[in-house]
Amino acid sequence: MNAVANIQAEPLLRVQGLSKWYGHVLGCRDVSFEMRPGEVLGVVGESGSGKTTLLKCLSGRLVPSSGQVEFETRRHGLTDIYALSEPDRRRMQREDWGFVHQNPRDGLRMRVSGGANVAEPLMNMGQRHYGEMRRSTVEWLERVELDTSRIDDKPRNFSGGMQQRIQVARNLIHGPKLVFMDEPTGGLDVSVQARLLDLLRELVRDLGLAVIIVTHDMAVARLMADRLLVMRRGEVVETGLTDQVLDDPQHAYTQLLVSSVLQI
Amino acid sequence: MSSASRPLIIVEGLAKTFVLHNAGGAVIPVFERLHMEVRPGECVVLSGESGVGKSTLMRSIYGNYAPSSGSVRVLHDGDYTDITQASPHAILDVRRRTLGYVSQFLRVIPRVPTLRLVMEPLLDNGVDPDEAEGRARDLLSALRLPERLWALPPATFSGGEQQRVNIARSFIRQYPVMLLDEPTASLDAENRAIVVELIRGALTSGTAMIGIFHDADVRDAVATRLFPVLEFKVAA
Amino acid sequence: MTEASPPANLAERYYNYAYLDEQTKRMIRRAILKALAIPGYQAPFGSREMPVPYGWGTGGIQLTAAIIGPDDVYKCIDQGADDTTNAVSIRKFFAKVADVATTEDTSDATIIQTRHRIPEQSLKAGQVLVFQVPQPEPLRGLEARETETRAMHAYEEYGLQYVSLYENISAYGRIAATAGYPVMIEERYLMSPSPIPKFDNPKMDDNEAILLFGAGREKRIYALPPHTRVRSLDFEDYPFEVQSWEENCALCGAEDSYLDEVVLDDAGNKMFVCSDSHFCGERRKAGHSGPMAGHQLDQTVEGNTP
Of A175, A192, A217, the last residue of a domain is A175
Residues of C in contact with A130 (CB under 8 A): 166, 169, 235-238
Predicted confidence at residue C301, as pLDDT, reads: 52
Give DSSP secondary structure letters for A88-142. Answer: HHHHHHHHHEEEE-SSHHHHS-TTS-HHHHHHHHHHHTT---HHHHHHHHHHHHH
* pLDDT, mean of residues C244-254: 92
Q: Are residues A207 and A169 in the same domain?
A: no
- Alpha carbon C157 to chain centroid distance? 27
Query: Cβ of A123 and C159 within 8 Å?
Result: yes
Residue A50 lies in domain: 9-96+178-264
Residues of chain B scoring pLDDT < 70: 1-4, 108, 236
H-run or E-run covering A167: helix A160-172
To the nearest 10 degrees (0 to 180), the angle between helices A114-124 and A160-172 is 20
End-to-end Cα distance, chain A = 32
Question: pLDDT tens-digit profile of B137-187?
Answer: 999 999 999 999 999 988 889 888 998 999 999 999 999 999 999 888 888
CA of B61: how far to CAs of A33, B53, B176, in Å? Answer: 25, 12, 14
Chains with 3 or more CB pairs closer than 8 angstroms to C? A
CA distance C101 to C70: 8
Q: Where in chain C is the domain with CATH 3.40.50.11310?
A: 10-138+180-232
Please tell me whether residues A83 and A13 are part of one structural domain. Answer: yes
- How many Å apart are CA C113 and CA C110, to the nearest integer? 10
Neighbours of chain A (3+ CB pairs under 8 A): B, C
Contact B66 A244 (CB under 8 A): yes
The domain segmentation of chain B, as residue ranges, is: 1-98+175-236, 106-173
| CB-based contact B178:B100 (threshold 8 Å) | yes
Shared domain check, A259 and A182: yes
Distance CA B126, CA C151 (A): 44
pLDDT tens for residues C231-244? 999 999 999 999 88
Considering only CB atoms, A120 lies closest to which of C155, C159, C238, namely C159
Concatenating the DSSP letter of every residue in C218-257 gives: TTEEEEE-TT--EEE--BTTB-------SSPPTTT--SSS
CATH superfamily of C10-138+180-232: Bacterial phosphonate metabolism protein PhnH (3.40.50.11310)
Residue C126 annotated to the active site: no
pLDDT per position as a tens digit, C194-211 = 999 999 999 999 999 999
Question: Which residue of C143, C160, C165, C170 to mutate against A (max A Cβ within 10 Å)?
Answer: C170
Q: Going by DSSP bridges, is the β-strand pair C128-132/C210-215 parallel, antiparallel, or unpaired?
A: parallel
Question: Which residue of the set C216, C280, C290, C303 is catalytic?
Answer: C280
Class of the CATH domain delimited by B1-98+175-236: alpha beta
- Roughly how many angstroms between the first and final C-alpha of chain C, as a whole number? 30
Note whether residue A133 is domain-resident: yes
Model pTM score: 0.87
Is the CB of A250 inside 8 Å of chain C's CB atoms?
no
Instruction: Please indicate, yes or no, whether residues A222 and A154 belong to a single structural domain of this protein.
Output: no
Q: Is C76 a catalytic residue?
A: no
Answer whether C304's CB lies under 8 Å from C284's CB: yes
Angle value at C-alpha A224, between B85 and A120, nearest 5 degrees? 125
The neighbour count for residue C260, using CB atoms within 10 Å, is 15
Angle at C34 between CA C33 and CA C40, to 5 degrees: 110
- Here the CATH number for the domain that contains residue A186 is 3.40.50.300
Report the distance separating Cα C208 and Cα C225, nearest Å. 8
Share of chain C above pLDDT 90, in %: 81
Which positions in chain A touch B93 (Cβ < 8 Å)? 3-4, 7
Total domain count, chain A: 2
Q: Which residues of A touch C167 (CB under 8 A)?
A: 112-113, 116
Tell me the shortest Cα–Cα distance from B208 to chain A, in angstroms.
22
Q: Which of A119, A154, A175 is the last residue before a domain boundary?
A: A175
Nearest to C278 by CA among C70, C78, C57: C78
Rounded to whole angstroms, how far apart are CA atoms B162 and B154?
Answer: 6
Chain C residues with CB-CB distance to A170 below 8 A = none
pLDDT band of residue C298 (cuts 50, 70, 90) is confident
